[in-house]
Structure 1
Amino acid sequence: MRIPSTVAKGLQSTGFSTIRYGLALNLLSIGRLKFESYEVDNIRPLITASPVFSRLLTGLGEQKLARVIGVTEMIAGSLIAAKPFAPKASALGSLGAAGIFATTLSFLATTPEAWQEKRGEPKLSLAGQFLVKDIVLLGASLLTAAESLQAGQRT
């Protein structure tokens, strides 16, 4: 079956827009949650087990650290969404998001609660399942960064 190139290009354009604005919405929504006390409780096991974040935790405290993380996520999400107006800024936001998701993926190695104990071979716990989806978000961040950089070169 032969599909017209216009259909493929339309799907590609729609796919990139869905990735871009879905990524931005995720970051904005999750960043906003960092201002809620229950979210501070949710991220506690992740940040206390992380060598980097445990040091920041000592200096800032849980609530301030959560807010710094939240503001960082919301800035990245806002920049990603700004692509039509500021593609270079959007690329910066996407690269920042890639850093965010690479960091959260590192929690798989530092958080004991990410793995189920006593199961023989390693199996992800509920926390680990939550973290592993960041592989897809990392890939989306890299794709939106590349697309924004290309758009920035055309302007």
Structure 2
Amino acid sequence: MQKLFQFAANLQETGLHLSRLGLIVVLVWIGGLKAFPYEAHGIIPFVANSPFMSFFLKYDAPEYKKHMNKEGELKPENVAWHEQNHTYEFSYGLGAVIVLIGLLIAAYPLWPGVSAFGSFLCFGMSLVTLSFLITTPETWVQPLGDVHHGFPYLSGAGRLVIKDIIMLGASIATMAQAARKYLYQKDKQDRLKEKQERLVVA
């Protein structure tokens, strides 16, 4: 049993690297999907109800509720509405930002300072995403007849959002690791530079 705990105790760095890889995969994959209409439609309830993002769209909430396509469904009239609403332009921009954050985090082996900044951005993004639990009615089960609705009954959208708590923690952990590596490399470079300067003076 003792050896098992010793083995587990040595897995911290492995866990951090896997957390970073997980962030990169999720951010690049999900960010890339923002280029497709079905994903753009899916984020509109969050965006339209958010005080941080709603100004990007033409129509105010809850107008979007009459124009939502289900995943796999195609209604041309809804697509036309989303085009007028600037849904796709916003989704493209958001997707590009999310992919960029993932790529910044992926820079860890070469540029840990850049990676730390990427993790910091991911931390901020996760906070914004978690705010949807407050601003987006669709994150809670709606009162459609079942007595189990509202808080604490998370809907599918709510269950998706609450998982960002994990991303929040992973971004802090990877930011700390990357910052330590950056400071270590900088200190090593500074000491090397100081040594070279002493040799030149001598």
TM-score by length of 2: 0.72
Q: CA deviation at 1:8?
A: 4.2
3-state DSSP class of the match of 2:91? helix
In 1, are the aligned partners of 2:140 and 2:150 still within 8 Å (CA)? Answer: no
Q: CA deviation at 1:3?
A: 3.0
Q: Deviations over 1:68-126 (max 9, x none)?
A: 11111111101111101000000000000111111111111000000113326611111
Q: CA deviation at 1:2?
A: 2.0
Instruction: Work out which of the residue numbers 85, 93, 111 in structure 1 matches 2:136.
Output: 111
Change in CA separation of 1:91 and 1:28 when aligned onto 2, cut-off 3 Å: same
Q: Which moved more, 1:121-130 or 1:36-45?
A: 121-130
Equivalent position amino acid for 2:126 in 1: F
Equivalent position amino acid for 2:35 in 1: F
Partner of 1:23: 23
CA distance in 2, matches of 1:25, 1:147: 18
Partner of 2:77: none
The correspondence of residues 74-93 of structure 1 with structure 2, limited to 5 A, is 74-93=99-118
CA distance in 2, matches of 1:150, 1:4: 28
CA distance in 1, matches of 2:174, 2:11: 16
Instruction: Work out which of the residue numbers 63, 67, 86 in structure 1 matches 2:92.
Output: 67
Partner of 2:177: 147
Note the aligned Cα RMSD (angstroms). Answer: 2.0
3-state DSSP class of the match of 2:102? helix
3-state DSSP class of the match of 1:3? helix
| Count of residue pairs the alignment pairs up | 155
Equivalent position amino acid for 2:134 in 1: A
Partner of 1:41: 41
* Higher normalized helix content (fraction of residues): 1
CA distance in 2, matches of 1:44, 1:84: 36
The share of aligned pairs that are identical, in percent, is 37
Answering whether residue 149 of structure 2 is matched by residue 137 of structure 1, we say: no
Q: CA deviation at 1:10?
A: 4.0
TM-score by length of 1: 0.92
Answering whether residue 158 of structure 2 is matched by residue 128 of structure 1, we say: yes
Change in CA separation of 1:93 and 1:61 when aligned onto 2, cut-off 3 Å: same
Change in CA separation of 1:62 and 1:102 when aligned onto 2, cut-off 3 Å: same
